Structure 1
């Protein structure tokens, strides 16, 4: 800060402004600061924005917050992708000082003789204001200044025109003694960075055929996988995430269910990347060619979706890097290369990267690989275990990619310590996996969401009920109602969510003693009878389709800053709402965490959060069942999980 007035606690400012805050195009971004001054003179505060093109936008006047706290608030809605910057300015506001004093003196009974100097000083301030206000308002300000100088008028007639300029001179103030903060940054992404619905599936399983004991007979391809895309699009997903599509290592290949010895016909784990057939820039020959991948990507885009690729920075023992760049790995005392371990787990089919042997060469090689896929139309990467790679590498790579392709997005698959997860968000990751899966009670979920709401300037959550690695015991034992419950929570609480295929078929059998699927698709082909499941009524696809349609139709669900919780007197229930102030669209959700029993609860709604008065009555329309109810602040709610485990209401007023 340089200048006359203190300006403190500016937000958004990630780690004191060390990193850019995050927003998306069209998002309402709140800005705040604390500023104050001595005495009784009026202080004004405004924020100045500069877009990615360097053009300075008209400044936004900041309004005072709660009395006595000296907090100032404003919002901006960025309209371009790229790096925005802003500064906060505090200034002496002579017009407001004058107006406040004159009004108080008149109310105290002072007359013309007492106010002679005030009238003269006010006229001089308005002379300055004439040079600031829009051209169409200049004459009005001149007339107000002339009225202050007109001794033939009454006191009321002289003062009133100037006092009535309050609104005009709030937005076009006379500013003196201007104090300016340092510049703060805001990275603005396209909207899919915040609002997205992900569907993960293995292309090799689509169109595949297997024989007894899961013996592969026919391997799926990009062409056969493309036949699955219309059904994915029909469910309302907009991101199709593919596990690694590269050649799979042949040395130390894992067998079914992660066994150490693979049969000759076993397909191996896609995360054991690389063989004599190529590395991270190659395609597994059984999936097809680069042209086949382009066909798959183009078909995805025709259906209104886009492809996300897995970026897993590790290598199989026969990856080309092992011979070409042996310094990328760690050599042990006996001369062998260290394979991945997470004691007591061992991953003999994977060599982890060493980030300290030849960082610059490694960095440039990974950038080359990423840009290879960007140049082939990929704009989203799901990054595998980014927390096991050097943080400064990501801090270099992500801005480097965005220099030429600002639309590229990165999802961090990091189930790790909070500091690391937050740090990855700060240095550039667009979205992050979260602890959502392990928040299985209403109070845990509310507490976790309230924590996430404090990190939105740098970390955007993406909620996944399941992944190929994670099958939580709540899904193992909760039955179909629990699949609905977790889907409702994932889709309604956050703007971004995702699921791994098979969820819609209620797949729930775990490997004994583990929190993951038995006969895991990571190690074998898993063709599914999608059509047969739907014909037999054993598919959750229609319900998921409805949830995604509710999301698309209600702009309140496109944001996260607007999440508000309401009280309900049953600990098995969670009640929350989202409201879009621009459209007035309001969603109210009450969900039970109990998949086995009927639950009753009584709500106490925060009516202001719904845009309503405390005694208003309103209509709610259930978006799942179509039922309509008349509600107020206090309401009784019954949820039977075997009918529907949640109410998703659109609030209608008037």
Structure 2
């Protein structure tokens, strides 16, 4: 039975269906500084009284709550918004109450318009004004006190009536709302990341392939020499696969051959040897001081290092000897190696997250992350996080952000949708996506709509990759240059976070392992030598697109996308706008083999233009400018020239 003492019996307002609210408030939503947080809720009370509502918010460093009024939309739906200015943890909630003064004003207005005498109603109004006068400014206080006198003086009836329905009364109601019997919604959480969580440009490479001379093992110092080139192309995150000692037992050879030749380097994901594990550096890459020098050099070039956290180890890893309890032991006493049938990874032991020793395991993994943080690392790409316990990620990410709130975690989880979403809710700042396999117009529009127009927009930050060192997608296996250009361009303009597996994509390497979405002669299994002085059309486009991304705020967000009508299944057009007035229109020919042309419809209300107004579309890749007018304008794209337009909409 309900205990009356526990019921706020005088509270008449209901607040429900609040958005954003993740799983009943279990998880926080995400933002970056200066982002507008739009909050909506159903707010209503019994009867005909008016309600009022305020959106309340505060940063973790603040004692006092800030608040903004909420606005009635329709059908008891209300909305309000606030801007987050600081990084870190925020709380937000809603307060709502019966606004007796507003209800009084509404009723007395109706009666006055009906020519009714309202002497009694004016006395009620005087009593209500007395409740707000103490909170009024000095100037308003004097005016309110005078209104109270007028309401109680029958000789001033006409004056009082005009005061009751005047604009000044409406202003007082808004400014000095008297709150009693307030319904307060539960406090919800919001985490504000640093800007790079929302806008980043990733270049992936194996440092062992950075040597200037063929046949040599690359080093961190070689990578430092490449930073000016990578910076010129416009990248700000340099992602390195594992840089630790590689085990010898069951080491894999070229093309994943189970028989490794004596001079073959092994797979960096077979982490650990007698030289150490996840907190050690592969000696052929350099020393810890060399790595720290790379971190510092990246910073000098406006870049950051992203480390690869692969929670697994080779049979030679110190963990295998010192902590066998962290692994699955088969009936014959051996440790179970990793499998993803039909794939076998004999050189890798997976961690058993159901171990009885889970606490010591968790603490060790946290220690590794903290060690990397001490080295200067503030971005971690996590390999296959979906094969580790959700509870662990919830805990370790929260623990990390207590000490290193600027740490960014990227989830490399190509798995089922709900699993990817749960990882994002649990704290991952960015997430790999299905973009790699979304190739048709219908698929792309549907996927972008899901990411940007559903609840996912509040917590799932997509990071688009047209390829990875693990994935050579079918569309690229032909080596057809326009396809590389198209897939790159859309990754960089659909999403504010994107990356490429650097030289392999840049130089359009495409030969596939027969029958698989994998590279033949993959760099995972051997050291490559690249001609880092070589450039091509793709290099030029990457450089120009990245420049445009940095110079145009509309391209630095993902959720601001709006698709434009264009009557061709092979032509895709989308508009991105920013509150600062920046407007970007992208038009892409998805057909890498044929010229396509059609009319694109521009939503004029989104670009602030009327149907009779001319405006300029400035192609930021070619420098060409065209004068357009009205909603409908013709475009034509030849994939062998440039299969897309990157238009900035400018005023004449």
CA distance in 2, matches of 1:471, 1:330: 32
1:368 corresponds in structure 2 to: 367
SS of 1:6 mapped into structure 2 = strand
Residue of structure 2 aligned with 1:606, choices 590, 603, 607 = 603
* Compared CA separation, residues 82 and 634, structure 1 to 2 (3 A): same
Residue of structure 2 aligned with 1:620, choices 604, 617, 620 = 617
2:583 corresponds in structure 1 to: 586
1:105 corresponds in structure 2 to: 111
Deviation at 1:475, TM superposition (A): 1.6
CA distance in 2, matches of 1:596, 1:136: 73
CA distance in 2, matches of 1:95, 1:131: 15
CA distance in 2, matches of 1:483, 1:387: 29
What per-residue deviation string (whole Å, max 9, x for no partner) do you get for residues 572-591 of structure 1?
1122112212x121212121
- The answer to whether the aligner puts 1:122 opposite 2:99 as a matched pair is no
99-108 or 644-653, which deviates more: 99-108
Deviation at 1:593, TM superposition (A): 0.9
Deviation at 1:615, TM superposition (A): 5.7
Q: Aligned runs of 1:341-420 on 2, under 5 Å?
A: 341-357=339-355, 358-420=357-419
Deviation at 1:147, TM superposition (A): 5.2
Count of matched residue positions in the alignment of Structure 1 and Structure 2: 638
1:214 corresponds in structure 2 to: none
Residue of structure 2 aligned with 1:574, choices 572, 575, 578 = 572
SS of 2:565 mapped into structure 1 = strand
CA distance in 2, matches of 1:568, 1:135: 59
Query: Structure 1, unaligned stretches of length 5 or more?
Result: 211-216
2:4 corresponds in structure 1 to: none
SS of 1:176 mapped into structure 2 = coil
CA distance in 2, matches of 1:530, 1:333: 51
Deviation at 1:29, TM superposition (A): 1.3
Q: CA RMSD of the aligned region, Å?
A: 2.0
What per-residue deviation string (whole Å, max 9, x for no partner) do you get for residues 91-116 of structure 1?
111232233233333444x16xx122
51-60 or 40-49, which deviates more: 51-60
- The answer to whether the aligner puts 1:190 opposite 2:190 as a matched pair is no
CA distance in 2, matches of 1:479, 1:208: 28
CA distance in 2, matches of 1:321, 1:387: 22
Deviation at 1:140, TM superposition (A): 4.5
* Compared CA separation, residues 475 and 366, structure 1 to 2 (3 A): same
1:447 corresponds in structure 2 to: 446
CA distance in 2, matches of 1:156, 1:640: 73
What per-residue deviation string (whole Å, max 9, x for no partner) do you get for residues 476-496 of structure 1?
226222222112211111111
TM-score normalised by L of structure 2: 0.94
Q: Do 1:99 and 1:163's aligned partners in 2 also have CA atoms closer than 8 Å?
A: no
CA distance in 2, matches of 1:208, 1:342: 36
TM-score normalised by L of structure 1: 0.93
CA distance in 2, matches of 1:208, 1:363: 40
CA distance in 2, matches of 1:609, 1:123: 47
What per-residue deviation string (whole Å, max 9, x for no partner) do you get for residues 516-575 of structure 1?
2221111111121121x22xxx25222111111111111122222322222111111122
CA distance in 1, matches of 2:591, 2:270: 39
- The answer to whether the aligner puts 1:487 opposite 2:479 as a matched pair is no
CA distance in 1, matches of 2:437, 2:175: 49
CA distance in 1, matches of 2:242, 2:445: 34
Q: Do 2:58 and 2:91's aligned partners in 1 also have CA atoms closer than 8 Å?
A: yes
Q: Aligned runs of 1:454-473 on 2, under 5 Å?
A: 454=454, 455-473=456-474
Residue of structure 2 aligned with 1:30, choices 19, 38, 43 = 38
CA distance in 2, matches of 1:87, 1:561: 23
CA distance in 2, matches of 1:264, 1:346: 21
* Compared CA separation, residues 301 and 62, structure 1 to 2 (3 A): same
Residue of structure 1 aligned with 2:338, choices 318, 324, 340 = 340
Deviation at 1:55, TM superposition (A): 2.3
Residue of structure 2 aligned with 1:643, choices 621, 636, 641 = 641
1:310 corresponds in structure 2 to: 308
551-560 or 280-289, which deviates more: 551-560
Deviation at 1:119, TM superposition (A): 2.9
